[in-house]
Structure 1
């Protein structure tokens, strides 16, 4: 029997927040698995040796990167799927047959061998002893892509897959990694499916909150107006210390509101606005299979609550919505409302610190590579009080990264990858119309080999999650269309 070529497919997926500046990271109920254990009947955990710095031949330091593998669907001659972790720990639910995430439905149809690779510095993949700013210099998308290339080469050699094709899949940040892997390693990566991928880096991501407004208006044209009225009231009341006790009670803060600086005010306004923005970004996206709480709280939930006159003026309706989210996430109160408390948490350089599983790392990447700062400087959005300068100064406070360094890093990212003007072939770009991140992605086909799949009425990474009966017809059709594109591309040399 002649040799049959095997196709290797890379899935890059984010576990949470599936993209975006992490404003309120609290890693709760994360199962920490031990080395090389049996995660379930078909999934094994392993480690691969990686260089600390792929771009310095004189640096011989190495570290171990975590990955999972399953051959439950594998058939000789079938593809091999590699899902790449994003800015959080990898979790075995993405390898679970019972969960039925989209990449596994593709794997079953194609007889695929499945791998799940954790991103450097996230989860248990620790290239350095801690998360000091000095060590975080080795955290970048370029280093992560080099990890991917080495993983692909090593696995191919060890498993006899040297002549295999590789296809990259990804969601959000790791969707961008999937696209960029095809762009930068075309001799290794055959094609890519980059879901909800923000390809254009920008410091001033004001479009994010503008699209939050538009997504709310798509549910109910009055809804964003009510949210704006509530937030305007909050912003006015928070200026007077006499209101601090009532605001603390209204929003159930974990400690009494004390505004001692402009950053304190911006921090709490940003945090409360995020209750709305996160609801929009993840609305009805079926993340429940990851054991994420609050997936039943959607744009519809928010707009219905904001329309309830029985709750009082819009300010109190908004407070009631924040309380609903807090209790649904099984939290006793809404976080400590001070910038300095949050600052100390983020400055903690331990992997076991409050932000050690991914928050400190991702904020570092936004301050050095991407920006993505979702601010209120645009008039066409419902919030106020946390402008671009607030975010720029955070980079200085957290990592001593000055504004000129931040802007230069973002410019370099777009120069290196091309931003919207990506020049490659065989990459498909799925995006959801409700997802504010689609502003930084590709929503119209560039060429026949760079098609976009724009899915009306869906949110961030929706096409990657398990299918369910209540899915919109256009989401079901999008998954089928993407699979057909994949099949066609696998036939090409």
Structure 2
């Protein structure tokens, strides 16, 4: 978990958040709150079954959704934005590329919050027993039932529905079209990791390449700094200095390998987050805190010899993050993390999405950004560190995790998706593209690979300074939607 999240354990980005297999979100906490205050959409509620796959279970709950009818024409399509691993922000009902498309095509726009996130609470708490009702399959069934009932109630049964989503919701958008083709006509699956993988070292390999795209020396300096820190952690006499260098909230004490791995992942997370959301359109357009922290900025710090050796520059990056987000110190204590993640209350510190999302990684996806590859700049948080958290938080064994990930790929097909009318936009800077579709599968399953852009860039409002390829990608997606809606 990165420095960007240390202020809060909430994961508050609803539609494009999939952060490093963890709930990364302080940057999005800033932007979503500001957007929510400006949003005009009123929340509405839809009755869902708790368990769609057990006819004998009649329990129900209320799921939150939003509606924007501003652009709808009687013969127009219906756009359904899929919520993900955080609260659904009504800001998406006022901003975003999908609304540009809706205006041109006369679409009715709906957004459905994902079960167990935001205000959509199917159960009394977040106990592991209750979390068994949290899965992508249940979420897809929620979408199917919502689509069926709303279509009947609003006279939209014969309208063509298009699903939109970014990141994990992008995967859901693809899978919704795959599993319920009679209900959804087409899907835009942005930055969608469609293949589950327990070990995902490729994430950090892309981080290396993305840093190198700005400055070839940058990832080498990061690696040198990380290696120095790893070496110093072997000597308890260095702990006081490390605590001061990185402004830790408590004196460093490494009692287990989990303690050191958590510290190392926390510090590396600053680079991981900045790469993933580099030059985030939505951040910049709203003037959000941290919008100016980019790959270029971090590499500039790492190249600044006046700060000292690479280790000192690495610490300077940590201080930059803390200053930017008004953080007093960094809590890199795994015991505290364990305490927060095992709190099962809806008022708990990880209830904004952290406990839920990590559960989904432990029972469906994996996605663990380990340091197991030699072709990346960090060290010290290998796969066993990530897998052990599944046991610590939910009593999920490594064997169960591996079986669950295999079942996910068996159920959805991984890269071998057999469907039609799904477009897969991805950015070259975004590490998640390594688990996505970056080349056309068929003419009806096209990829849109956008050089120089990061996670979900095509979903955000257009800006004059956007790269040419990003604007062309948005236009290409619109042309596809126009074509598909005529079929």
| Alignment TM-score, normalising by the size of structure 2 | 0.94
CA contact (8 A) 2:423 2:448 kept: yes
The Cα shift of 1:40 comes to: 6.7
Aligned twin of 1:348: 343
Contact 1:210 1:378 in 2 (8 A): yes
Three-state SS of the structure 1 residue aligned to 2:483 is: helix
Q: Which residue of 1 aligns with 2:482?
A: 487
Cα distance between partner residues in 1 of 2:150 and 2:20: 31
Cα distance in 2 for partners of 1:14, 1:71 equals 21
Aligned partner of 2:314 among 318, 326, 329 = 318
Q: Give yes or no for the alignment of 1:236 onto 2:234.
A: no
Query: Given that residues 14 and 87 in structure 2 are in contact (C-alpha distance below 8 angstroms), is that contact kept between their aligned partners in structure 1?
Result: no
Is 2:364 aligned against 1:369?
Answer: yes
Paired position in structure 1 for 2:56: 58
Residue aligning to 1:10: none
Tell me how far 1:253 sits from its aligned partner. Answer: 1.4
**Deviation of the 1:31 alpha carbon:** 8.2
Aligned counterpart in structure 2 of residue 414 of structure 1, from 386, 409, 424? 409
Alignment pair present for 1:122 and 2:117: yes
Other-structure match for 1:299: 295
Q: How big is the shift at 1:164?
A: 1.4
Q: For 1:281 and 1:177, how far apart are their aligned partners in 2? A: 20
**Counterparts of 1:447 and 1:306, CA distance in 2:** 43
Secondary structure at the aligned position of 1:44 is classed as coil
- Residue by residue over 1:235-274, the C-alpha shift from the partner in whole angstroms, topping out at 9 and shown as x without a partner, is 1112212111211111111222111111100110011111
1:166 matches 2:164 = no
Is 1:133 equivalent to 2:128 in the alignment?
A: yes
2:86 matches 1:88: yes
Q: Relative to structure 1, is the Cα distance of residues 239 and 41 closer, same or farther in structure 2, using a 3 angstrom cutoff?
A: closer
Residue 21, structure 1, aligned to residue 17, structure 2 = no
Assess if the C-alpha contact under 8 Å between 1:120 and 1:144 holds in 2.
Answer: yes
- The 5 A counterparts of 1:6-405 are 14-15=14-15, 17-22=17-22, 43-96=41-94, 100-288=95-283, 292-334=288-330, 336-405=331-400
**Shift >4 Å, 4+ stretches:** 23-32, 38-42, 289-292
1:428-467 correspondence runs (5 A): 428-467=423-462
Contact map agreement 2:16 2:166 (CA 8 A) in 1: no
| Residues 430 and 216 of structure 1, relative CA distance in 2, 3 Å threshold | same
Query: Who is 1:35 aligned against?
Result: none
Contact 2:16/2:168 (<8 A) preserved: no
**Structure 1: distance between partners of 2:15 and 2:434:** 21
Q: Secondary structure at the match of 1:67?
A: strand
Q: Is the 8 A contact 1:52 1:62 kept in 2?
A: yes
Distance in 1 between the 2:286 and 2:195 partners?
28
The equivalent of 2:4 in structure 1 is none
CA distance in 1, matches of 2:68, 2:325: 32
Cα distance in 2, alignment partners of residues 341 and 92 from structure 1:
32
CA–CA separation in structure 1 for the residues paired with 2:333 and 2:479 = 50
Aligned residue pairs total: 472
Structure 1 residue runs without a partner (length 5+)? 1-12, 33-37
Range moving further from structure 2, 73-82 or 393-402 = 73-82
Change (3 A) 1:291 1:232: same
Unmatched segments (≥5 aa) in structure 2: 1-12
TM normalised by structure 1 equals: 0.92
Give the conservation status (yes or no) of the 8 Å contact 1:39–1:45: no
Give the drift of 1:169.
Answer: 1.3
CA distance 1:40–1:23, shift in 2 (3 Å): closer
**C-alpha displacement of 1:277:** 0.8
Q: Is the 8 A contact 1:259 1:338 kept in 2?
A: no
- Cα distance change, pair 307–31 in 1 and its aligned pair in 2 (3 A): closer
What is the CA distance between 1:22 and its match in structure 2?
1.4
| Shift in Å, 1:315 | 0.8
Contact kept? 1:326, 1:332, Cα under 8 Å: yes
Q: Secondary structure at the match of 1:253?
A: coil
Q: CA deviation at 1:76?
A: 2.0
Cα deviation code 1:260-318 (max 9, x no counterpart): 11110011001111111111111012232577531211111111111111111111111
